[in-house]
């Protein structure tokens, strides 16, 4: 191996290690086992192999599901596989569309075993799972014209990432719809992101027959939720987590720009999308209770100023977790129960 080859190999390994470290709290916050994650990423010497490596691990969990002695064990392995397939989509490579489809299928197989009452609901710009709580006494289900909480993912996240949020809401007796929207998850390969997300939330509410909607949005999903709370009258309570208040294309890090270009369908479309992400005029129209959660260690420009959204919204409340990073996967005890309690109290 000559010096040039050695330097190239070392640089590839360093890039893989840096990417793995940057996504550690996100992955563990989504439910990946920390030891398995560190072992798998510690053996990764080329970021270009991220997708295939994560898909291989996911398929190992599918195999375990097939060998499991009980439905509970099999369902757990399918759910874990769904998470690994989803995280396979985060790296560079050609596997993203296949990995997203595999994540979607694995989640469906998991819910068949773990929550047989879960119902797949799809529309022109969304797809997701409607789940009901185990116990009675919640604020009702959408089939009877009741209430539902919609969990909205972000730019490169999906419905397979936020099981912990869904579980907290279900434990409080709430009916929950965990979704992918335009440009997200299983729809990323066939649709593009849109800034007027309230139309999507309106379609979801129509499809579910819900008169009252609570929203929880994470990362870019936080903007989607705030925009929808300002414009969709059925939204009666909302929580944003690491959501942008305003985006400036020139200030965005190159990886975020690249993601926007990919999910918007080109640079011009991405620039237009970023230019529309601005809540300064919309925030005063958010009349429902709104909890804005930020991490003090979040460094993404436009996402670090959630206090402005909470201040401008008539019933806004700001919760800043000083040690929290983007998505606050490293600080769930500091915000998740609080967010779920607020949704439950205001939706009931």
Render each residue's pLDDT in the chain as its tens digit; 348 residues.
555 455 566 788 899 999 999 999 999 999 999 999 999 999 999 999 999 999 999 999 999 999 999 999 999 999 999 999 999 999 987 889 999 999 999 999 999 999 999 999 999 999 999 999 986 545 555 544 589 999 999 999 999 999 999 999 999 999 999 999 999 999 999 999 999 999 999 999 999 999 999 999 999 999 999 999 999 999 999 999 999 999 999 999 999 999 999 999 999 999 999 999 999 999 999 999 999 999 999 988 888 779 999 999 999 999 999 999 999 999 999 999 999 999 999 997
Provide φ and ψ at 331, rounded to 5°. -145, 35
Domain coordinates in residue numbering, the chain: 1-116, 117-347
Q: Interior CA angle at 100 toward 50 and 132, to 5°?
A: 130
3-state secondary structure 199-251: HHHHHHHHHHCCCEEEEEEECHHHHHHHHHHHHCCCEEEEEEECCCCECCHHH
CB 176 within 8 A of CB 151: yes
- Alpha-carbon dihedral of residues 58, 60, 62, 68, nearest 10 degrees? -140
CB 147 within 8 A of CB 209: no
Please give the Cα distance from 108 to 131 (Å, whole number).
12
| Alpha-helix residue ranges (DSSP H) falling in the chain | 3-22, 24-29, 34-42, 50-67, 71-88, 96-114, 163-171, 198-208, 220-231, 254-264, 267-276, 306-312, 336-347
pLDDT of the residue at 304: 74
pLDDT of the residue at 95: 85
CB 168 within 8 A of CB 184: no
Provide φ and ψ at 154, rounded to 5°. -105, -150
In the CATH hierarchy, which fold is given to the domain comprising 117-347? Rossmann fold (3.40.50)
Task: Identify the burial level of 62 via C-beta atoms within 10 angstroms of its C-beta, where 0-12 means exposed, 13-18 middle and 19 or more buried.
Answer: buried
Please give the Cα distance from 5 to 270 (Å, whole number).
36
pLDDT of the residue at 144: 47
Total count of residues recorded for the chain: 348
Order of strands across the sheet that contains 126-131: 119-123, 126-131, 176-180, 147-152, 212-218, 235-241, 290-295, 316-321
CB 76 within 8 A of CB 93: no
- Alpha-carbon dihedral of residues 132, 87, 213, 333, nearest 10 degrees? 80
């Amino acid at each position: 191996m000559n010096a040039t080859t050695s330097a190239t190999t070392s640089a590839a390994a360093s890039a893989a290690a840096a990417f793995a470290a940057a996504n550690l709290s996100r992955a563990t916050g989504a439910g990946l086992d920390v030891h398995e994650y560190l072992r798998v990423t510690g053996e990764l010497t080329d970021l270009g192999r991220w997708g295939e490596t994560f898909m291989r691990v996911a398929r190992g969990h599918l195999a375990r599901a097939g060998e499991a002695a009980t439905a509970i064990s099999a369902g757990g392995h399918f759910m874990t596989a769904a998470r690994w397939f989803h995280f396979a989509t985060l790296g560079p490579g050609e596997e993203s569309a296949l990995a997203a489809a595999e994540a979607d299928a694995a989640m469906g197989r998991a819910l068949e075993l773990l929550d047989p009452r879960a119902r797949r609901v799809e529309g022109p710009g969304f797809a997701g799972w409607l789940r009901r709580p185990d116990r009675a006494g919640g604020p009702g289900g959408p089939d009877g014209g009741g209430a539902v909480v919609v969990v909205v993912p972000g730019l490169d996240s999906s419905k397979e990432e936020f099981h912990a949020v869904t579980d907290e809401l279900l434990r409080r007796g709430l009916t929950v719809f965990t979704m992918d929207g335009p440009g997200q998850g299983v729809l990323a390969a066939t649709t593009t992101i849109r800034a007027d997300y309230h139309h999507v939330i309106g379609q979801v509410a129509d499809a579910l027959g819900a008169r009252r909607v609570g929203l929880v949005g994470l990362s870019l999903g936080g903007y989607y939720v705030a925009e929808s709370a300002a414009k969709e009258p059925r939204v009666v309570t909302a929580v944003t987590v690491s959501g942008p208040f305003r985006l400036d294309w020139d200030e965005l890090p190159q990886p975020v720009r690249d993601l926007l270009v990919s999910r918007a369908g080109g640079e011009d479309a991405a620039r237009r999308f970023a230019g529309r992400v601005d809540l300064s005029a919309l925030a005063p129209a958010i009349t429902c209770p709104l909890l804005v959660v930020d991490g003090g260690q979040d460094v993404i420009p436009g996402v670090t100023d959630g206090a402005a959204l909470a201040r401008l919204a008539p019933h806004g409340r700001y919760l800043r977790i000083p040690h929290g990073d983007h998505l606050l996967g490293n600080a769930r005890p500091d915000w998740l129960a609080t967010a779920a309690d607020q949704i439950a109290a205001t939706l009931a």
